With several copies, the nearest count.
Chain A
Amino acid sequence: MQPNEQAAPAATTDQEHRLIIAGFGGQGVLTIAKLLCTTAMSEGKNVTYLPSYGAEVRGGTANCQVVVSSGVIYSPLVEQADSLIILNQLSCDRFVVRLKPGGLLVLNSSAVALDDASQTGARQVLRLPAADTAARIGNVKVTNSVMLGAFVRASGLVAEEDCLAALREHWSRRRAEVIDPNVTAFRRGVELAAEA
């Protein structure tokens, strides 16, 4: 059996994207990861989602390692990330070294300062005032959706509309009243990335 053959049989030329999403507990890091995964799955791709857990969670950073692939995924660990989505400073300090040369770095510039981004060797560094943007939308809690929208646009990993559908579905089963601000935030993120 393949590690995840149920979902999609192994392809010979696999396209694989490995990313880390990290931030402060409560910033919605795991929601970003889950939405990316379900979107990718809906597009027929394989995914793995590996959250940090346990003692690390409390009051510290939350992070999630995600792999999206057209083929089999072996290690769900992301040692070298194709992309980083970073929501707070501590996470930035910790994970920026894990970015592959030529990778994509998406930063919540409302909370993260990274003076010399060139050292990271990133192909693109996207600095989004995500928290400020969210605050302007009227709900700081949608910061993560701003980041998600921007990442989806910048990476092209999944289709924007698929991701929006997943986002709607996600919140409809939880708190339907926050669908709208999240959709707005996602769209704003897409715009910000497009503008960048």
Chain B
Amino acid sequence: MSDKRFEVTILTHFCKGCGLCVEFCPEGKLYIEQKPDMRGIQAAAVRADVDCTGCLQCATICPDAAIEIVRVEAPVST
């Protein structure tokens, strides 16, 4: 666990603020913005202080394909 971590990206442009990702994230990594954006949507956002486990629950449930997940690994020197 030490040499890899996961990055979650909310593609805010596609997000509709349904909050499903927030509900389904087992880690509490995501939350809904208090302030509506210009479209009037309170989009999802990522908490910096919580670790993502890359379980993909959020991306799987998101109806708007507004989440991207990347695994980041330190290079292995062989």
> Nearest Cβ in chain A — how far from B15, in angstroms?
13
* B38 close to chain A: CB less than 8 A: yes
CA distance A88 to B38 in the complex (A): 8
Cα A89 to Cα B38 with chains together (Å): 6
Give the residue name and chain of the A residue nearest to B37 (CB).
Answer: A89
- CB closest chain-B residue, reference A61: B40
Q: B-facing mask of A24-41, CB < 8 A → 1, else 0?
A: 100000000000000000
B4 at the interface (CB under 8 A from A): no
Q: B18 → chain A, closest Cβ, in Å?
A: 11
Q: Is A90 interfacial (CB-CB < 8 Å)?
A: yes
CB proximity to B under 8 Å, residues A111-160? 111
Residues of chain B whose beta carbon lies under 8 Å from any beta carbon of chain A: 16, 36, 38-40
A/B interface sample: 7 pairs, CB < 8 A: A89-B38, A89-B39, A90-B38, A90-B39, A90-B40, A111-B36, A111-B40
Point out residues on A near B: beta carbons under 8 Å: 24, 59, 88-90, 111
